[in-house]
Amino acid sequence: MTVKCLSAPILVTGSRGMLGRELVEAFCTRWGAKSVIGLDSSGLDITQPLKVLECFKNQSISFLVNCAAYTDVDKAETERERALAVNAVGPKVLSNVASSFGVPIIHFSTDYVFSGSKVEPLTEEDIPSPPKPNYYGETKLLGERAVLEQSSNIVLRVQWLYGKSKERFSHLKDRSEFYPFDDQWGAPTWCRDVSQVVCDLIEKKAKGLFHFAYDDFATWYDVYQFVCNEMGYSTQLIPKKIAELNLPAKRPRYGMMSNKKLLRELGRESMGSWKIALREFLRTL
Ligand SMILES: NC(=O)c1ccc[n+]([C@@H]2O[C@H](COP(=O)([O-])OP(=O)(O)OC[C@H]3O[C@@H](n4cnc5c(N)ncnc54)[C@H](OP(=O)(O)O)[C@@H]3O)[C@@H](O)[C@H]2O)c1
């Protein structure tokens, strides 16, 4: 089935990743199997301009949804070249080629572009400044800037994703103890909910920078406490501070994102609670 807003299929790059898979499924459900072409890294390497160009020449595309990314936050400190290529050069290549074909892009970024020092929810107007060191955040910031050079593109910042292909929770049942951070703030985010919002943004012909967020926030400790209560796990949760783990990349302490702009765009009053979303997800396990 074709829909009014789609003149041709949507191309999803990085379609084998956690979010990519769920987006392909969401597009199929909303607009039919013919509405989407999913390409994984072997089908299209986004850092190769000629391959990207060839891909656009070979098929008609209405939207490009880029889920390809280098997402290993700590390894990015040492694999800098690869992180830069996938998170900054790739989006620039996609943006240049797509704009020459008049195709808008939806690209994903992260709360890790922020320093984490603002205690209030972060808005799209807040100036990003990744924590140091956090090369992943630096490369994601370059990538979102490259994509936003074209006014028809969308960047959606997301955080703490979970979904079918990466559920972060059921391993708890086999553990007697677990050590979540109690000083990193944000919210766990279901890829299914992000996918629905992406469909809505496409239908609304939205443009620009948006934050995906529920209405409420938590620390990782709160999240795992909630999971233990919901699932009846007896794991003992021992709170840790981010600094205690001495990780290669620094995490932003406060990463709560405001959803006000997204709500206005979608004409909604609420995005609901992370708890309601997570409860529903846990029932699917
Ligand atoms: N996961 C989170 O909690 C989180 C939080 C904030 C923001 N985000 C952002 O959300 C988006 C989706 O993240 P995700 O968790 O779904 O990532 P993911 O599961 O790590 O998937 C990323 C995909 O990108 C592909 N890829 C890597 N290099 C590529 C290249 N050169 N060309 C084409 N594809 C390439 C990978 O394919 P191969 O496996 O074949 O290499 C992988 O399938 C990313 O932009 C990420 O930065 C994620």
What residues are paired with 110 via a beta bridge? 158
Cβ of 202 closer than 6 Å to ligand 1, yes or no, is no
From atom 24 of ligand 1, which residue's Cα is the shortest distance away?
68
The DSSP code sequence of 68-128 is -----TTGGGT-HHHHHIIIIIHHHHHHHHHHHTT--EEEEEEGGGS-S---SPBPTTSPP
Q: Please state the rounded mean pLDDT for residues 163-175.
A: 93
Q: Atom 34 (ligand 1): residue with closest C-alpha?
A: 41
Which CATH number is 118's domain given? 3.40.50.720
Ligand 1 within 6 A of CB of 13: yes
**1 in a domain, yes or no?**
no
Out of 71, 79, 209, 220, give the residue to mutate to test ligand 1, the one with the largest number of ligand atoms within 8 Å of its CB: 71
Report d(CA 132, CA 114) in Å as an integer: 10
265-282, pLDDT tens digit by residue?
Answer: 999 999 999 999 999 999
Is the pLDDT at 104 greater than 80, yes or no? yes
Look at residue 28 and tell me whether its pLDDT is greater than 80.
yes
Give domain status of residue 279, yes or no.
no
Q: Mutate which of 11, 18, 66 to test ligand 1's pocket (most atoms within 8 Å of Cβ)?
A: 18
- Note the pTM of the prediction, 2 decimals: 0.98
CB 197 within 8 A of CB 266: yes
Confidence category of residue 7, pLDDT binned at 50, 70, 90: confident
Residue 4 has what pLDDT?
58
Counting the structural domains of the chain, the total is 1
pLDDT of the residue at 38: 98
Q: What pLDDT is stored for residue 269 in this prediction? A: 98
Distance (angstroms) between ligand 1 centre and the Cα of 17 equals: 5
pLDDT in tens, 215-264: 999 999 999 999 999 999 999 999 999 999 999 999 999 999 999 999 99
The values of phi and psi at residue 96, to 5°, are -60, -50
- Residue 284 within a domain: no
* Position 170 in a domain: no
Q: Is residue 62 situated within a structural domain?
A: yes
Range of the domain at 132: 10-165+189-216+256-274
Q: What does the pLDDT average to over 189-206?
A: 98
Q: What type of residue sits at position 41?
A: S
Instruction: Find out whether the beta carbon of 68 lies less than 6 Å from any atom of ligand 1.
Output: yes
Q: What residue owns the CA closest to ligand 1's atom 37?
A: 41
Place of tokens 């050590």: 179
| CA dist., res. 93 & res. 17, Å (int) | 20
240 belongs to a structural domain: no
Ligand 1 in reach of 203 Cβ (< 6 A):
no
Q: What mean pLDDT is predicted for residues 5-15?
A: 93
Distance 86 CA to ligand 1 centre (A): 9
Q: Residue 66: CB within 6 Å of ligand 1? A: no
> From the CB of 188, is ligand 1 less than 6 Å away?
no
Residue nearest to ligand 1 atom 20, measured at CA: 71
pLDDT for the residue numbered 1:
40
Residue 41 within any structural domain of the chain: yes
Domain presence at residue 31: yes
Residues with Cβ < 8 Å from 197, sequence gap 6 or more?
Answer: 156, 212, 262, 266
How far is C-alpha 203 from the geometric centre of its chain's CA atoms? 19
| Angle, helices 49-58/90-100, rounded to nearest 10 degrees | 30
Condensed to tens digits (0 to 9), the pLDDT of residues 85-100 reads 999 999 999 999 999 9
* pLDDT higher than 90, residue 48: yes
